[in-house]
Amino acid sequence: MHYGTKAKHCVLFPLRKACLFYLIPSAPLLVVAWGLTLLGGCADSVVRDPDAVVIAIEASPTQLDPRYSIDAYSSRIGSLLFASLTRSGVDARPLPYAASKWWQPDRKTYIFELRDDLRFHDGRRLRARDVVATYRSILDHRSSSPKRAALASLQSVEAEGATTVIFRLSKPDAAFMHSTGIGILAADGLGIEPVAALELTGSGPYRLASFDSDRLRLEAVQGSAAGDPTIETLIFKVLPDSVMRALELRHGSVDIVQNAIDPDTVDWLDREEKGVEVRLGDYNAYQYIGVNLRHPALAKLPVRRALVYAIDRNAIVRYILKGQAQTADAMLPPHHWAYSDKVRHYSYDPDRARRLLERAGYTDPPGPAPRLTLSYKTTTIELRRRIAEVLAAQLSEVGIELKIESYEWGTFFADVRAGNFDLYSLAWVGIEDPDLMRTVFHSRMQPPDGNNRGGYSDAITDRLSERALRSRPGKRRKLYARLQRRNSRRLPYIPLWWPRNVTVISRRLTGFEPLPSGQLWGILSARLRR
C-alpha cells in the first residue's frame, strides 16, 4: 500500500471525511479572520484621539534637559516645553522669546530684559535668577553639558533685579547670541546633572504630560511667552521606519511628518492626494561631499574642481530627490541672513572636468583603467547609497573610479572624525550662526577640537572667520560673503544641494507653517478641521 499516491487517496479519502479534514485546518484561519473583523471596528479609536495632533518622529529624543540636548528632536520638542531668551527666526536671526529686548553696551557685554509676565508650568514666576542658574549650571566645570563649548567665551552671568540678565564675555563673540536659545530651567534645586524628562519644569507653550520610549504627550499651557496654543494635545510618535511614517500619514493616524520620508514616498503621497498635503519650504541645511585634503590628489585644487564639474547635481536633485532640494554652491542657504550670491557657480561640464584632471597630471590611461581611484564613505541609508551609485557613475564618465563604502552610523561617523576617508557625504542640519564656517574650515578646528575633518588649511579663511566672530552684524555679513566666495573657489567641500524642508501634513490640520529651522512653532497657529 502506498499512501503517497494520488490513486490510493481517492479510495481511502471519502468526500465526507475530506470535508471534515479541511475544516480542521480551516478553523484557525476562520478564527483569525473572525478576530480581525471583531477587532477591526475599534482599531481606530485605540489609535486616535480626535483632538490631538500626532507628529511622527524617527527616534525618541535622547535628552530633554535643554542643557544636555543635542539631537534635533530633543531640541524641537524642547523648544515647545522650555522658553529660552531668544528663538531663531526665518532668516536664522534671533527673535525675542523670554527676553523682550537686549542690547550691547560694549562688545563683550549683552544685557537681556525679560518679559515680566512669564511663569513656569507650576505657577512660579520666571525670573532673571532662573536664567542665571541655568547658564551657571552649564558653565560649572563638573557638568558634562555638550553646550559648554559654545559658551566658551562666557565669563560670567548675573541677575540685576528680577528681569535683567547680564552676560559678560571674555572676548567679543558675535556667535554668542546663538547660545541664547537654551531653554531656561527653574533655579530652585537645579543641580548640574541632567534632570529626567518628567521632572523638568518648563515655561513653554506646552508641558510634558507623559513620556515613554515611543510616545510623548504634550499638553497646551495658556499664557506662555510664545502665545496660546490652539491645539490642546500634541503626540510625538516614534516610528523608526520611513515607509511606516508615510503609511501612518496615509492611514490618517499621523498628522505631521517633517523631513523624515524618502523622496520617492513623498512623491507617491503627493500624487495620491489622499488626505495629505506636501509642502516644500526653506530649510537650514546643506548637503556636501567632505574632502580629505591630506590625500595627494584631493589636495590639488583642479582635482576638486573637476569633481564639481563632473557631478550632475541637477540630475540628482531632479530624479533621485524628486525636486526636494536646490543645487548649492556654498554653505549658507538663500534665506539665511548671511547668504551671498557672489560665489563661484558650477554647472555640469564633464569635458572641463577631464581637462582639469589632465592639468593636475591625471591623464587618461589606455584601456579601462581609471585616471584616479577614490573611496567614498556613506551611511547604509538606502537613499544615500543610491546617490553614491549615481555619483560613481557620473565620475566614471571622467575617469574617476569611486569605491563606495557604506557603514552604519557609528562606524561611519568614527571614520569621518578620524579623517579616515577620501570623500564622504554628510549634511549640516540646523545651520543658524554662520560661525559654523569657522568651526568647519578654520585650520585649528580639526577634530577633536572642531569639525575641520578634511584638514583644510587656508590663512585667509582663518583670518576672515576670526574677524567675523569679532565683528558687528553689518560687518559680519560682508566678511561671511567673502568667506563664502573664498570657499566656493577653494572647495574645501564639494557643494551638493540645500535640502528643502519637506513637510507632509494631514488635510485635517490647517494653518501649520513649517519653519526653516525645523522647529515646530507653526503648530501654535494651527487648527484642526472638524
Partner 1 sequence: MSSYLTKRLAFFVPTIIGVASVVFLLLHLIPGDPVDIMLGESAANADRQELREKLGLDRPLLVQYGTFLSGLARGDLGESVHSGRPVRELLAERFPATLRLSLAAGAFAVLIALPLGLLSAARPHSPSDRITLGISLLGVAIPNFWLGPMLIMAFSIELGWLPVSGNGSPQHLILPALTLGASMAAILTRMTRAAVLESLQEEYVRSAAAKGLTRRRIILVHAFPNALTPLISLLGLQFGSLLAGAVITETIFAWPGIGRLTLEAIQTRDYPLVQGCVLLIAMAYVLINLLTDLAYALADPRIRLDDSD
Of residues 116-145, those binding partner 1 (CB under 8 A) = 144-145
| Count of helices and strands (H, E) across the chain | 15, 21
If DSSP codes are grouped into helix, strand and coil, which group holds residue 520? coil
Find the binder of partner 1 among 111, 139, 166, 238 (CB under 8 A): 238
Which residue shows C-alpha cell 511606516? 244
CA–CA distance, 134 with 224 (Å, rounded to integer): 19
Q: Does 435 bind partner 1 (CB under 8 A)?
A: no
Which residue shows C-alpha cell 551671498? 340
Q: Does 233 bind partner 1 (CB under 8 A)?
A: no
Q: Does 523 bind partner 1 (CB under 8 A)?
A: no
Rounded to a whole number of angstroms, the minimum distance from the CB of residue 429 to partner 1 is 12
Residues 459-481 as b or e (16 or more Cβ within 10 Å = b):
eebbebbeebbebeeeebbebbb
Restricting to residues 449-468, which ones interact with partner 1 according to CB under 8 A? 449, 451
Q: Which stretch binds partner 1 (CB under 8 A): 21-29, 360-368, 398-406, 492-500?
A: 21-29
Restricting to residues 331-350, which ones interact with partner 1 according to CB under 8 A? none
Output the nine-digit C-alpha cell for 431. Answer: 545651520
Find the binder of partner 1 among 104, 253, 375, 406 (CB under 8 A): 253
Find the binder of partner 1 among 368, 448, 474, 529 (CB under 8 A): 448
Output the nine-digit C-alpha cell for 363. Answer: 591623464
Q: Which stretch binds partner 1 (CB under 8 A): 86-94, 249-257, 357-365, 492-500?
A: 249-257
Q: Does 237 bind partner 1 (CB under 8 A)?
A: yes
Rounded to a whole number of angstroms, the minimum distance from the CB of residue 116 to partner 1 is 33
Q: Does 1 bind partner 1 (CB under 8 A)?
A: yes
Rounded to a whole number of angstroms, the minimum distance from the CB of residue 318 to partner 1 is 26
Rounded to a whole number of angstroms, the minimum distance from the CB of residue 322 to partner 1 is 20
Decide if 290 contacts 454 (C-beta within 8 A).
Answer: yes
User: 337: closest CA among 147, 473, 489, 185?
Assistant: 473
Q: How many residues comprise the chain?
A: 530
Considering the complex, state which of residue 377 and residue 500 has its C-beta at the smaller distance from partner 1. 377
In eight-state DSSP terms, residue 84 is B
Q: Which stretch binds partner 1 (CB under 8 A): 147-155, 346-354, 357-365, 496-504?
A: 147-155
What would the x/- binding string for partner 1 be over residues 71 to 100, using CB under 8 A? x-----------------------------
Q: Does 409 bind partner 1 (CB under 8 A)?
A: yes
CA–CA distance, 138 with 128 (Å, rounded to integer): 16
Q: Does 386 bind partner 1 (CB under 8 A)?
A: no
Rounded to a whole number of angstroms, the minimum distance from the CB of residue 237 to partner 1 is 7
- Kindly provide the residue ranges of all beta strands, DSSP E only, lying in 294-366, ordered along the sequence: 325-327
Output the nine-digit C-alpha cell for 476. Answer: 559680519
CA separation (Å) from 139 to 145, 149, 201?
Answer: 8, 9, 20
Output the nine-digit C-alpha cell for 150. Answer: 559654545
Find the binder of partner 1 among 239, 387, 395, 423 (CB under 8 A): 239
Rounded to a whole number of angstroms, the minimum distance from the CB of residue 26 to partner 1 is 8
Which residue shows C-alpha cell 559654545? 150
Q: Does 319 bind partner 1 (CB under 8 A)?
A: no
Restricting to residues 33-72, which ones interact with partner 1 according to CB under 8 A? 35-37, 39-40, 42-44, 46-47, 59, 62, 70-71
CA–CA distance, 164 with 129 (Å, rounded to integer): 9
Find the binder of partner 1 among 15, 103, 105, 213 (CB under 8 A): 213
Restricting to residues 159-198, which ones interact with partner 1 according to CB under 8 A? 194
Binding-site size for partner 1 (CB under 8 A) equals 72
Find the binder of partner 1 among 189, 223, 227, 240 (CB under 8 A): 240
Q: Containing H/E element for 373?
A: strand 372-379
Q: Does 438 bind partner 1 (CB under 8 A)?
A: no
If DSSP codes are grouped into helix, strand and coil, which group holds residue 11? helix
Considering the complex, state which of residue 44 and residue 160 has its C-beta at the smaller distance from partner 1. 44
How deeply is 123 buried, as exposed, middle or buried, from its count of CB atoms within 10 A (0-12, 13-18, 19+)? exposed
How would you write 112-132 as a 3-class SS string? EEECCCCECCCCCECCHHHHH
